[in-house]
Chains A and B, each alone.
Chain A
Amino acid sequence: MNARSPAAPLDELDRRIINALQGGFPISDEPYREVADSLGTTEAELLARLQRMLDTKVLTRFGPMFQIERLGGRFVLAALAVPEARFAEVTAQVNALPEVAHNYRREHALNMWFVLATETPEGIAQAIARIEAATGLPVFAFPKLREFFVDMRLKA
């Protein structure tokens, strides 16, 4: 989905589900039933709506968000200056790596910004080397030096 696509039609319950599920999901025997009860809906309705929102890409994911650095791995933000004529080709080359967790087109000379997520610190340099070999373009890596704040929740 790109920035010019209209927002997906979401009803009030969809939005309440999205907002509720950006908080803490229960770790219990029947967590969906608990959330459904708190939203005044049924477990079956909640599961069906979650599946639909995943299928239509309103949600890109539902599950645990791992901080891979606390598991010995690394996240690194990186960027490329991609010639316009090669943009689709380079997108395919970069996205082909499982280490590329997210990738965004941005308006700047550095027009492709992606996050590498690897299980080991060495994995980052290996992924960068593979991208440079595949694309012939230099990768600008921006490893974080300090994290001041992260909270990705956005009210729907």
Chain B
Amino acid sequence: MNAPDDLDRRLVIATQAGLPLVPRPYDLLAEQLGVSPAEVKARLAAMLASGRIRRIGAVPNHYAIGYTANGMSVWDVDDAHIEALGQAIGRLDFVTHCYERPRRLPDWPYNLFAMVHAGDRATVQARVSEIAALLGPACRGHDVLFSTEILKKTGLRIGGDG
């Protein structure tokens, strides 16, 4: 992947803590960065179109909006089938993230991670059972790691200013 150009990087550093809460936020950014408002808007639109920005929006605290059960389900899936099965799990509407990751044998046999959020643990477990049914015999074992505390949730911080 190409290195970001200077304006991309300066936009990351200027907004990584948040978009200004003022009526004309892009004008304020333009002033801070010494470019025109039109340039800021065009660049942000380009970054969205290329996936350098996933979206512009709010990140809720899961617990605060009622998702008090947050389970990281982890699965030991036959490597020969993980691509098709990972895509199938990723399509489930209750899975918010789904990744293949390396095993760390012998302690950690799991290679598929799927995050499941719900209002209570029983609902998470029921959804985990749905995933298990979908994986079938290609899955040799699984676990669910519930979160019990958010220790930090600042998001990305580059540029050395904390």
B residues touching A (Cβ–Cβ < 8 Å)?
1-4, 8-9, 11-12, 15-19, 21-27, 37, 41, 44-45, 47-48, 50-68, 70, 72, 82-83, 86-87, 89-91, 95-102, 104, 107-108, 111, 113, 117, 143, 145-160, 162
Q: Which residues of A contact B (CB under 8 A)?
A: 1-3, 5, 7-8, 10, 15, 17-18, 21-25, 27-33, 43, 47, 50-51, 53-54, 56-73, 77, 91, 94-95, 98-110, 112-114, 117-119, 140, 142-154, 156
Q: Which of B58, B96, B108, B111 has the most CB of A within 10 A?
A: B58
Main secondary structure of the interface of B (DSSP, over half): mixed
Q: List 29 A-B contacts (CB under 8 A).
A: A2-B149, A7-B64, A10-B64, A23-B55, A30-B24, A59-B59, A60-B61, A61-B18, A61-B153, A65-B59, A65-B155, A66-B53, A70-B1, A70-B51, A72-B1, A72-B4, A77-B101, A91-B151, A98-B160, A98-B162, A101-B152, A107-B145, A113-B145, A117-B158, A142-B101, A148-B89, A148-B99, A149-B95, A149-B97
Of the candidates A59, A60, A64, A119, the one having the most CB atoms from chain B within 10 angstroms of its own CB is: A64
Contact in complex: A29, B37 (CB < 8 Å): yes
Residue in B9, B41, B102 whose CB lies within 8 Å of A71:
B9
Least Cβ–Cβ distance between B35 and chain A, in angstroms: 15
Please give, as numbers and ranges, the residues of chain A lying within 8 Å of B26 by CB-CB distance: 27-29, 31
Contact of A106 among B27, B146, B152, B162 (CB under 8 A): B146
Do the beta carbons of A7 and B66 come within 8 Å of each other? yes
Interface Cβ pair total, 8 Å cutoff = 278
Given A57-B61, A64-B53, A146-B86, residue A28 in contact with residue B41 (CB < 8 A): yes
Bound: A118/B16 CA distance, A: 13
List, in ascending order, chain A residues with CB within 8 A of B154's CB: 60-61, 101-102
The answer for the CA separation of A151 and B47 in the assembled complex, in Å, is 18
Q: Give A152 Cβ to nearest chain B Cβ, in Å.
A: 6
**CB distance A25 to B56 under 8 Å?**
yes
Q: Which residues of A contact B72 (CB under 8 A)?
A: 106, 113
Contact B23 A43 (CB under 8 A): yes
* Contact present for B51 and A67 (CB under 8 Å): yes
Q: Report yes or no: A66 in contact with B12, Cβ–Cβ below 8 A.
A: yes
Of the candidates B25, B58, B95, B159, which one forms a contact with A59 in the assembled complex, judged by CB atoms under 8 Å apart? B58
B101: which A residues are within 8 A, CB to CB?
77, 142-145
Closest 9 CB pairs of A and B: A149-B90, A148-B90, A63-B19, A103-B151, A21-B58, A103-B152, A25-B56, A146-B100, A148-B86
Residue in A18, A22, A27, A98 whose Cβ sees the most chain B Cβ within 10 Å = A27
